[in-house]
């Protein structure tokens, strides 16, 4: 946690916050001392001038204390939020540049939590550190010192009270912490059952299982309630017992203090001051134990953040990149083997083909056969283990990453749109594209109709993640976005499966008819035979191995895997 | 669902309108909702009265102790002054003449008061925990029950995220307020009044002095606190925007990278990040200075009381113990004020939460409107659609006069482009929605004249959305029909190619399917839903043919299991495979949510309409498959 602050939080500001805190604590500790003086020297001696004098000093103290604490809060707020801002920016920059390996390793949703919740957690803890956590020990030490100064003997009372308090807090923690943890699990369970009731409502009703669901929920609900009652019953003890301990201390000090006064070993005013110090000591002790409960949680967040920041990208740009003729490049896989990070079995083996501009390559195979993995190697989302992926005859590892990404237009399986307008989204890969070009791309992608239907057209607002479009619409917009880009290779990673047969067919035909695209390399990953059938070359994958390469007719005649795929999709008698 | 309905259907938990930190939502009908919420505690009225009494008693004891304890100081001081006077008079003594017997008596009283206060406040909490938790238990139960009685339309028009947020965030909010705030409110009020009372009882003049600062604390509570809320609201808003960016660009990181947008994206992020920083430190600062300011105001009162108390003691008008007690009261005084101010916000946001929960509870239930049409005993069809009018509320009718006869054992294929609204047919058959006119008859009886339960017992569905609940595989299969015997379930599992892979799992049929179902594959989930339908053993089957995302071997298994399931049953199949379509006795062709053509393959091809176009388009290009 402190490692994260290094270099990101201003040392001056932190020092300032600590100094102001010290001033604040000293000033507020001095107050009871002055009260004692009023009693000892003013009241006892009947010196009204002294009372006024001490009174003004007290007001001065109060003002110093409030000014110091406002300054401390100011610095604490700025430092902690600045720290959060910097950590967040650092993580973000890192993640945006991650290769697939690192994304897989941590997972997108976990990365999101780390950038948002975990950083917020760190920020909050730093506010606490800079305010309460440094206050508690200073207060504890200062108050103990002053109390000791007022009377040595009476200080002994803390030797009894503090251990009692520690034991009590310890017992509470032992009992309550596991129950609190359980409560989280049980909350999750309630929410899970409730959410399943929402997502599965049609199935539940169709199978007439509403009562079953109600029972399932009741069990979780009851379980949670019982646990919550247990937890809060234990917690109900906390405050009363703590108050009792503090009140007991109060009484003890009065009793022994009285005797000390009788023996002329203590002044009356000091007794009053001592009680105030005693309360401050016990309060700061409680504060400290509360903070100590927060630290482990923040530490967990810090660890998760450091994990991300310490990851290094495996895909590195070459020092002296080879230039590329972007508009007219061939795509070659030269005996490529690939293995996922830490995997035993290779995910791809012996992939070999060479596509010239103007040709279409299709890749087909079952789920998990490595189709997506294969196309992910083209823009260097992963690096090959053996062999090489070549663009225009140059190994992609020798190209500048920007140049490589500029030369490959990639449509992933999952269509992701960004908040903004349709135009913003389409121009994502080509800032200079004209509206005509955008409409042309939409036409090819079979997306013109539903954009045109809208009066706002290209200015139609896209919600976060494209939430206001259906799956098929998003997919077509993602395709159009890639088409706007002027690239050498267009990759469609299973982008057509969300489309119906007809749209799929029209789209592929439009790609073929387009002047620009028809002169580039097109790579299509597909599940349906009809999607891949008219490609120049079809690569058939099975379990990461290239088991066939050729045209539809060739493969249909000779390749058993391909025949199986056809058979699974079309029954005998369907062939025309 | 039809594409046009998609926008309302965003999923995701916990994003909807819910209570947000620092953002106080004002309820629309405060008292009405409050009374209704309290109504849930009616059966626990005795407990609540007890809790309130205990809270008041505990607070009163707590408040009185400083004054009583102050007597000890007075006694000590009296003895001390006497001693000093005697010493001045030249009398030598080992100890000052402090009356320890009297002190002992006072202390014993105080100990009892402390104990009583502690016991009362523990009991109060202990009982309140039970009351509040059980109340929320009831409320949750009722909400869940409501989910069963609202029409499907409710689900289609409300996002899951919205409903979840009400069930989770709002419910939590209510729970913690009932748990803490209610008694806190009573305690604070009693403390405020009690402290004031005690102060007045000690010295009216000193009370006036102590209260001089009250307007100052009102300024803090009334001006700074709302300001901090405003800053928190803008912080929360900035954080929301920032998090959106994070979510969106992490999810689309591939796109960002492959379109060389890293720098632009980073710049946008920096802008939002800076905005968040600007809002956040202000929120932290303003909320952070409330405490020191209140302490300062308190200190000022403290000083005034110390000065004037000191003067009064030296005049002999007030005892020292009373001044000491008074100082403690002064310190206590501002706490309930700021607490009550906080509570006002908490309670408002809780009532707003309760309002949102009640809003769900007040949704109209499903209604049964008998068709008013006589049964047609000589209807030999399994299912008849007779001049059906159908549409969703608030949108134009999708079909105005649709007729279809389904003979027992027939297979009806439903085809159409993506998003053509094939769900509509399921909605009508299962009576998720009622027809707007005409009739759907099952074995000659209008489906509106049967209970939904009864009607649905004739059907089973296998959808592409492979919903299974978090529970064992066995329980999920039994879901199809609760009274199915173990043999029937095993038989169904075997018929659906489930048995084999389940036996390979370490825990077999006891394997718990988790929410994301990472422990079995998508295809295997599909097989489980088929097995579940086998267990249900329905007369009529509604089946959604799988299209993709499964490996070839599983695909073969699914095909095989589906054809077994279809055998000898009347069925409606959302078809993707040509063979299914060709085998169908009737084909319902859908587009834009309504039925455009009906007939068998040859008839439809002869019509040369939408279907023919759809069918032929699959062979575009010159490749024969």
Strands in B459-462's sheet, in edge-to-edge order, are B459-462, B540-544, B570-574, B411-415, B586-591, B594-599
Q: Tell if the CB–CB gap between A78 and B320 is shorter than 8 Å.
A: no
Residue B484, domain member (yes or no): yes
Is residue B510 pLDDT above 50, yes or no?
A: yes
Residues B39 and B105 in one domain: yes
- What's the Cα-to-Cα distance from B480 to each of A293, B458, B468, B492, B551, rounded to whole Å? 48, 12, 11, 10, 26
The burial of A54, by beta-carbon neighbours within 10 Å (0-12 exposed, 13-18 middle, 19 or more buried), is given as buried
Residues B415 and B533 in one domain: yes
Is residue A459 pLDDT above 80, yes or no?
A: yes
Weakest-pLDDT range from A470-474, A488-492, B442-446: A470-474
Residue A478 is predicted with a pLDDT of 92
Residues B322 and B413 in one domain: no
pLDDT digits (tens, 9 = 90+) for B448-484: 888 888 899 899 888 877 788 888 999 999 988 888 8
Residue B195, domain member (yes or no): yes
* Cα–Cα–Cα angle for A541, A542, A544, rounded to 5 degrees: 80
Phi, psi of B400 (to 5 degrees): -110, -25
CATH number of the domain to which B562 belongs: 3.40.50.300
CATH architecture of A331-569: 3-Layer(aba) Sandwich (3.40)
pTM (predicted TM-score): 0.76
DSSP per-residue string spanning B260-318: T-HHHHHHHHHHHHHHHHHHHHHHHHHHHHHHHHHHHHHHHHHHHHHHHHHHHHHHTSS
pLDDT above 70 covers what percent of chain B?
Answer: 91
Residue B532, domain member (yes or no): yes
CB B2 within 8 A of CB B419: yes
d(C-alpha B414, C-alpha B611), whole Å = 11
pLDDT digits (tens, 9 = 90+) for A273-315: 888 888 888 888 888 877 777 777 788 889 989 999 998 888 8
- The count of domains in chain B is 2
Among A residues 552-571, those touching chain B with beta carbons less than 8 Å apart: 552-553, 564-566, 568-571
d(C-alpha B597, C-alpha B604), whole Å = 8
Distance (Å) from the alpha carbon of A555 to chain B's nearest alpha carbon: 12
pLDDT digits (tens, 9 = 90+) for B242-258: 888 888 888 888 888 88
Grade residue B15 by pLDDT with cuts at 50, 70 and 90.
Answer: very low
* Predicted complex ipTM: 0.83
Rg (CA), chain B: 37
3-state secondary structure B554-606: HHHHHHHHHHHHHCCCEEEEECCCHHHHHHCCEEEEEECCEEEEEECHHHHHH
- What's the Cα-to-Cα distance from B234 to each of B19, B231, B277, rounded to whole Å? 15, 5, 11
Q: What's the fold here for domain A2-151+266-310?
A: ABC transporter transmembrane region fold (1.20.1560)
Residue B262, domain member (yes or no): no
Phi, psi of B457 (to 5 degrees): -70, -15
Residue B508, domain member (yes or no): yes
Question: Which of B255, B263, B365 is best to mutate for the A interface (most A CBs within 10 A)?
Answer: B255
pLDDT digits (tens, 9 = 90+) for B529-539: 989 998 988 89
Tell how far CA B76 is from the center of its chain: 59
pLDDT digits (tens, 9 = 90+) for A330-361: 999 999 999 887 777 788 989 999 999 999 99
Residue B442, domain member (yes or no): no
d(C-alpha B195, C-alpha B334), whole Å = 10
Residue B559, domain member (yes or no): yes
Q: Tell if the CB–CB gap between A367 and B549 is shorter than 8 Å.
A: yes
- What's the Cα-to-Cα distance from B423 to each of A372, B5, B433, B480, B558, rounded to whole Å? 31, 12, 11, 21, 21
Of B582, B77, B132, the closest CA to residue B309 belongs to B77
d(C-alpha B525, C-alpha B531), whole Å = 10
Residues B355 and B489 in one domain: no
- Does B374 lie at the interface with A, CB-CB under 8 angstroms? no
Rg (CA), chain A: 36
d(C-alpha B280, C-alpha B287), whole Å = 11
- Report helix, strand or coil for B442: strand
- Report helix, strand or coil for A350: strand
Residues B347 and B419 in one domain: no
Q: Tell if the CB–CB gap between A42 and B310 is shorter than 8 Å.
A: yes
Of B348, B80, B198, B381, the closest CA to residue A264 belongs to B80
CATH number of the domain to which B332 belongs: 1.20.1560.10
CB B543 within 8 A of CB B562: yes
B75 versus B374: the higher-pLDDT residue is: B75
Q: What is the DSSP letter of B23?
A: B
Residues B416 and B356 in one domain: no
Residues B51 and B180 in one domain: yes
Residues B334 and B475 in one domain: no
Among B residues 399-438, those touching chain A with beta carbons less than 8 Å apart: 416-419, 426, 430, 432
B616 versus B80: the higher-pLDDT residue is: B80
State the residue range of the domain holding B543: 409-430+454-617
In the predicted model, what is the mean pLDDT of chain B?
83
Residues B353 and B414 in one domain: no
Q: Tell if the CB–CB gap between A527 and B114 is shorter than 8 Å.
A: no
Residue B283, domain member (yes or no): no
Q: What are the residue ranges spanned by the domains of chain A?
A: 2-151+266-310, 156-242, 331-569
d(C-alpha B75, C-alpha B65), whole Å = 16
């Amino acid at each position: 946690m402190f490692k994260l602050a290094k270099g990101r939080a201003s040392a001056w500001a932190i020092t300032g916050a600590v100094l102001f805190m010290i001033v604040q604590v000293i000033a507020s500790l001095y107050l009871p001392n002055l009260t004692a003086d009023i009693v000892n020297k003013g009241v006892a001696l009947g010196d009204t001038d002294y009372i006024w004098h001490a009174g003004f000093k007290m007001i001065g103290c109060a003002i110093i204390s409030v000014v110091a604490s406002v300054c401390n809060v100011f610095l604490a707020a700025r430092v902690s939020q600045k720290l959060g801002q910097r950590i967040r920016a650092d993580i973000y920059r890192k993640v945006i540049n991650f290769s697939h390996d690192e994304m897989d390793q941590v997972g997108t949703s976990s990365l999101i939590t780390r950038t948002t919740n975990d950083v917020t957690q760190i920020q909050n803890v730093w506010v606490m550190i800079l305010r309460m956590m440094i206050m508690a020990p200073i207060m504890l030490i200062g108050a103990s010192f002053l109390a000791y100064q007022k009377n040595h003997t009476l200080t002994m009372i803390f030797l009894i009270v503090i251990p009692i308090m520690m034991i009590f807090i310890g017992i509470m923690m032992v009992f309550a912490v596991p129950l609190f943890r359980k409560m989280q699990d049980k909350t999750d369970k309630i929410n899970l059952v409730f959410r399943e009731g929402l997502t599965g409502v049609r199935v539940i009703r169709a199978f007439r299982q509403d009562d079953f669901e109600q029972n399932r929920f009741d069990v979780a609900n009851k379980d949670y309630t019982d646990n919550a009652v247990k937890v809060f019953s234990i917690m109900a003890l906390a405050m009363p017992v703590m108050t009792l301990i503090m009140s007991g201390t109060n009484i003890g000090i009065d009793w022994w203090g009285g005797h000390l006064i009788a023996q002329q070993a203590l002044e009356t005013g000091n007794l009053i001051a001592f009680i105030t110090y005693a309360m401050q000591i016990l309060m700061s002790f409680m504060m400290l134990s509360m903070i100590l409960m927060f630290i482990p949680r923040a530490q967990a967040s810090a660890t998760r953040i450091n994990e991300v920041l310490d990851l290094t990208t495996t895909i590195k740009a070459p020092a002296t990149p080879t230039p590329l003729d972007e508009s007219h490049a061939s795509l070659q896989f030269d005996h490529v083997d690939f293995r996922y990070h830490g995997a035993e079995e290779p995910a791809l083996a012996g992939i070999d083909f060479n596509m010239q501009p103007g040709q279409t390559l299709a890749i087909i195979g079952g789920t998990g056969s490595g189709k997506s993995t294969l196309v992910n190697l083209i823009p260097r989302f992963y690096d090959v283990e053996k062999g090489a992926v070549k663009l225009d005859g140059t190994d992609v590892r020798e190209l500048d990453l920007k140049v490589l990404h500029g030369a490959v237009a990639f449509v992933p399986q999952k269509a992701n749109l960004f908040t903004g307008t349709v135009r913003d989204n389409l121009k994502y890969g080509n800032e200079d594209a004209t509206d005509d070009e955008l409409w042309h791309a939409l036409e090819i992608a079979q997306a013109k109709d539903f954009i045109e239907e809208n009066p706002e057209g290209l200015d139609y607002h896209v919600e976060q993640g494209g939430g206001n479009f259906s799956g098929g619409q998003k997919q077509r917009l993602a395709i159009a976005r890639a088409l706007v880009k002027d690239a050498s290779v267009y990759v469609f990673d299973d982008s057509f499966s969300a489309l119906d047969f007809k749209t799929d067919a029209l789209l592929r035909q439009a790609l073929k008819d387009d002047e620009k695209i028809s002169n580039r390399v097109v790579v299509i990953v597909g599940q349906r035979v009809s999607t891949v059938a008219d490609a120049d070359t079809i690569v058939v994958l099975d379990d990461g191995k290239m088991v066939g390469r050729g045209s539809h007719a060739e493969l249909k005649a000779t390749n058993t895997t391909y025949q199986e795929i056809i058979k699974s999709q079309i029954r005998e008698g369907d062939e025309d | 669902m039809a594409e046009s309905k998609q926008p309302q259907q965003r999923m995701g938990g916990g994003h909807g309108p819910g209570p947000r930190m620092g953002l106080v939502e004002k309820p629309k009908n405060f008292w009405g909702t409050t009374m209704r919420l309290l109504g849930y505690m009616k059966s626990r009225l005795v407990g609540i009265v007890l809790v309130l009494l205990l809270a008041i008693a505990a607070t009163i004891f707590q408040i009185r102790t400083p004054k009583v304890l102050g007597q000890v100081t007075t006694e000590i001081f009296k003895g001390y002054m006497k001693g000093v006077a005697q010493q001045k008079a030249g009398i030598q003594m080992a100890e000052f003449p402090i009356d320890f017997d009297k002190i002992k008596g006072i202390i014993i009283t105080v100990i009892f008061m402390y104990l009583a206060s502690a016991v009362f406040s523990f009991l109060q909490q202990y009982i309140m925990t039970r009351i509040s938790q059980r109340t929320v238990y009831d409320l949750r139960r009722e909400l869940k029950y409501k989910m069963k009685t609202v029409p499907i339309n409710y689900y289609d028009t409300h996002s899951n995220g919205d409903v979840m947020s009400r069930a989770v965030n709002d419910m939590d909010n209510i729970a913690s307020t009932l748990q803490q705030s209610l008694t806190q409110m009573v305690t604070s009020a009693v403390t405020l009044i009690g402290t004031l009372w005690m102060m007045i009882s000690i010295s009216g003049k000193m009370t006036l002095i102590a209260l001089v600062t009250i307007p100052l604390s009102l300024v803090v509570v009334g001006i700074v606190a709302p300001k901090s809320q405003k800053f928190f609201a803008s912080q929360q808003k900035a954080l929301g925007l920032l998090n959106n960016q994070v979510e969106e660009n992490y999810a689309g990181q591939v796109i960002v990278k492959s379109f060389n947008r890293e720098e632009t994206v980073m710049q946008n992020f920096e802008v939002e990040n800076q905005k968040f920083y600007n809002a956040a430190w202000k929120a932290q600062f303003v909320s952070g200075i409330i405490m020191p300011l209140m302490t300062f105001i308190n200190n000022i009162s403290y000083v005034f009381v110390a000065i004037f108390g000191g003067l009064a003691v030296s005049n002999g008008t007030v005892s020292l113990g009373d001044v000491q007690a008074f100082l403690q009261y002064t310190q206590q005084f501002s706490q309930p004020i700021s607490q009550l101010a906080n509570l006002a916000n908490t309670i408002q946001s809780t009532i707003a939460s309760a309002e949102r929960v009640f809003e769900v509870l007040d949704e109209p239930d499903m209604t049964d409107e008998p068709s008013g049409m006589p049964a047609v005993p000589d209807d030999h069809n399994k299912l008849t659609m007779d001049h059906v009018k159908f549409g969703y509320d608030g949108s134009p009718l999708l079909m105005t006069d649709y007729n279809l006869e389904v003979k027992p054992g027939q297979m009806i294929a439903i085809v159409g482009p993506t998003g053509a609204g094939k769900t509509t047919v399921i909605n009508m058959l299962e009576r998720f929605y009622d027809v707007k006119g005409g009739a759907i008859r099952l074995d000659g009886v209008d489906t509106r004249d049967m209970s939904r339960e009864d009607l649905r017992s004739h059907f089973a569905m296998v959808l592409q959305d492979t919903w299974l609940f978090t529970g064992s595989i066995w329980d999920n299969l039994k879901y199809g029909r609760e009274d199915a015997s173990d043999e029937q379930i095993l038989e169904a599992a075997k018929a659906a190619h489930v048995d084999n892979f389940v036996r390979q799992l370490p825990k077999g049929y006891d394997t718990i399917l988790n929410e994301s179902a990472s422990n079995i594959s998508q295809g295997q989930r599909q097989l489980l839903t088929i097995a579940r339908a086998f267990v249900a053993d329905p007369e009529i089957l509604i089946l959604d043919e799988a299209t993709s995302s499964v490996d070839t071997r599983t695909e073969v298994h699914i095909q095989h299991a589906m054809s077994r399931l279809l055998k000898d049953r009347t069925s409606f199949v959302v078809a993707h495979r040509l063979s299914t379509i060709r085998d169908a006795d009737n084909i319902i062709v859908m587009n834009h949510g309504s039925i455009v053509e009906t007939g068998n393959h040859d008839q439809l091809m002869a019509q040369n309409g939408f279907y023919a176009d759809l069918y032929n388009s699959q062979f575009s290009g010159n490749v024969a498959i």
